[in-house]
């Protein structure tokens, strides 16, 4: 352990590992962007990264030294002896972009990681600081990659056709010369597969669910948060329990009941069910918020002769608008994303919701870019809503404990 804590050793090890991370990342990024073959060479990455780490870690030659290292790495890549191997099919342009990108990003980030390491032996503090900077860099790359890649693949697949995809599954470059024809799968979804109706159905159902849920949850949450009655504690615990009952357990009896009463295949049936699954969550989130509001304002209202209901309407609700916004958003998201009940209860294509509609696209006869285009159509509105109101949303999520 002690041996590791020497500038040269630490720099060499961190540099070598960092080069593996970066060359893999750049190889994946360039492959996805151009479809050309790029691959990292692990052994060469270790060697190049290790030696570059030693030079950069000791700040040999200062700024000029760093530039020289960058040039050496880029040149090695282009000559086929570097950490990143470029296939012969790749164009000279994309090969040089990859080489320069790798060289610059490596030198720049290694200087940051190995920044304030003194020469010679390191204290534990300095050593761990460098390791943490390395892990942080790795973390950013890792999380961004795992989050973005599936969504990137989703969007890009929806813009390509089956033949192009089969030919080179790595090529996600887009032929912009097609113009609007790029969006043909979206066009077909709306003209041939009825997605306009599904979008409308999903939207209506989600909005109705939000309103019905709030209508039930606001009075309930207020009662639990403010009023004293026997069984209050038991009630707030049973809310939590109900909120844990798995949907699949309820889905069977609901399916049977709906089959017998003819509510299956009707959007009204869905609108009856969804709010009940969200009421416990909403009630739980709201009561937490109501409890945090100062009771004195409400008491002042009561003193001034308002009834309880008037107090809720005129004092509590205006004060809790941010909470209402986050709860509404969260419920909207649950209703919009719901799949199981829609899948079990709706068979008639004219009454599908968006998620049910996408499930129906999953067949061997329908090309997969339609499936992905459908997924994009379902994802984009919720993402837009979420990014626009992220502040509310995260607050709502943390307030509402964990539903999923």
Binding to other proteins in span 237-266, by CB under 8 A: 237, 240-242, 244-250, 252-254, 256-257, 259-260
Query: Any contact of residue 151 with other proteins (CB under 8 A)?
Result: yes
The pattern of x and - marking residues 45 through 74 that bind other proteins according to CB under 8 A reads ------------------------------
* Span from 11-19, 142-150, 178-186, 318-326 in contact with other proteins (CB under 8 A): 142-150
Binding to other proteins in span 2-21, by CB under 8 A: none
SS (H, E, C) the chain: CCCCCEHHHHHHHHHHHHHHHHHHHHHHHHHHHHCCCEEECHHHHHHHHHHHHHHHHCCCCHHHHHHHHHHHHHHHHHHCCCCEEECCCCCHHHHHHHHHHHHHHHHHHHHHHCCCCCCCECCHHHHHHHHHHHHHHHHHHHHHHHHHHHHHHHHHHHCCCHHHHHHCCCCCCCCHHHHHHHHHHHHHHHHHCCHHHHHHHHHHHHHHHHHHHHHHHHHHHHHHHHCCCCCHHHHHHHHHHHCCCCHHHHHHHHHHHHHHHCCCCCHHHHHHHHHHHHHHHHHHHHHHHHHHCCHHHHHHHHHCCCCHHHHHHHHHHHHCHHHHHHHHHHHHHHHHHCCHHHHHHCCCHHHCCHHHHHHHHCCCCCCHHHHHHHHHHHHHHHHHHHHHCHHHHHHHHHHCCCCC
Query: Any contact of residue 139 with other proteins (CB under 8 A)?
Result: yes
Binding to other proteins in span 281-300, by CB under 8 A: 283
Q: Which of 51, 173, 197, 379 binds other proteins (CB under 8 A)?
A: 379
Q: Which of 34, 157, 185, 209 binds other proteins (CB under 8 A)?
A: 157
Q: At closest approach, how far in Å is the CB of 62 from other proteins?
A: 27
* Span from 63-71, 161-169, 177-185, 318-326 in contact with other proteins (CB under 8 A): 161-169
Binding to other proteins in span 170-209, by CB under 8 A: 170, 172
Nearer to other proteins, 252 or 295 (CB): 252
* Number of residues engaging other proteins in binding (CB under 8 A): 106
Nearer to other proteins, 39 or 51 (CB): 39
Q: At closest approach, how far in Å is the CB of 359 from other proteins?
A: 6
């Amino acid at each position: 352990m002690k041996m590791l804590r020497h500038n040269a050793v630490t720099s060499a090890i961190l540099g070598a590992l960092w080069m593996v991370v970066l060359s893999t990342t750049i190889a994946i990024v360039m492959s996805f962007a151009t479809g050309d073959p790029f691959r990292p060479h692990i052994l060469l990455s270790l060697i190049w990264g290790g030696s570059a780490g030693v030079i950069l870690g000791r700040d040999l030659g200062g700024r000029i030294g760093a530039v020289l290292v960058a040039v050496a790495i880029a040149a090695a890549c282009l000559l086929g002896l570097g950490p990143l191997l470029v296939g012969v099919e790749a164009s000279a342009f994309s090969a040089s972009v990859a080489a320069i990108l790798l060289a610059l990003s490596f030198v720049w980030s290694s200087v940051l990681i190995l920044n304030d390491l003194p020469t010679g032996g390191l204290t534990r503090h300095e050593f761990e600081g460098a390791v943490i900077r390395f892990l942080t860099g790795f973390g950013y790359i890792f999380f961004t990659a795992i989050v973005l890649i599936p969504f990137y693949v989703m969007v890009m697949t929806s813009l390509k056709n089956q033949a192009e995809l089969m030919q080179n599954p790595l090529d996600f470059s887009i032929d912009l010369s097609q113009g609007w024809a790029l969006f043909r799968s979206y066009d077909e979804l709306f003209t041939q597969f009825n997605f306009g109706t599904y979008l409308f159905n999903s939207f209506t159902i989600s909005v109705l669910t939000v309103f019905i849920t709030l209508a039930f949850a606001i009075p309930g949450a207020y009662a639990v948060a403010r009023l004293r009655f026997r069984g209050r504690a038991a009630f707030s615990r049973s809310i939590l329990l109900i909120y844990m009952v798995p949907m699949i357990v309820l889905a069977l009896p609901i399916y049977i009941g709906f089959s017998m009463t003819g509510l299956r295949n009707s959007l009204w049936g869905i609108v009856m069910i969804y709010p009940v699954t969200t009421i416990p969550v909403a009630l739980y989130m709201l009561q937490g918020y109501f409890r945090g509001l100062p009771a004195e304002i409400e008491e002042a209202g009561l003193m001034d002769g308002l009834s309880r209901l008037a107090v809720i309407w005129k004092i509590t609700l205006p004060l809790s608008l941010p909470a209402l916004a986050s709860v509404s958003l969260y419920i909207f998201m649950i209703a919009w994303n719901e799949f199981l009940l829609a899948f079990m209860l709706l068979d008639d294509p004219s009454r599908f919701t968006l998620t049910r509609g996408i499930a129906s696209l999953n067949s061997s006869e329908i090309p997969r870019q339609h499936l992905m285009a459908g997924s994009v159509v379902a994802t984009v509105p919720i993402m837009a809503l979420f990014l626009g109101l992220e502040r509310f949303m995260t607050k709502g999520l943390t307030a509402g404990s964990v539903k999923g």
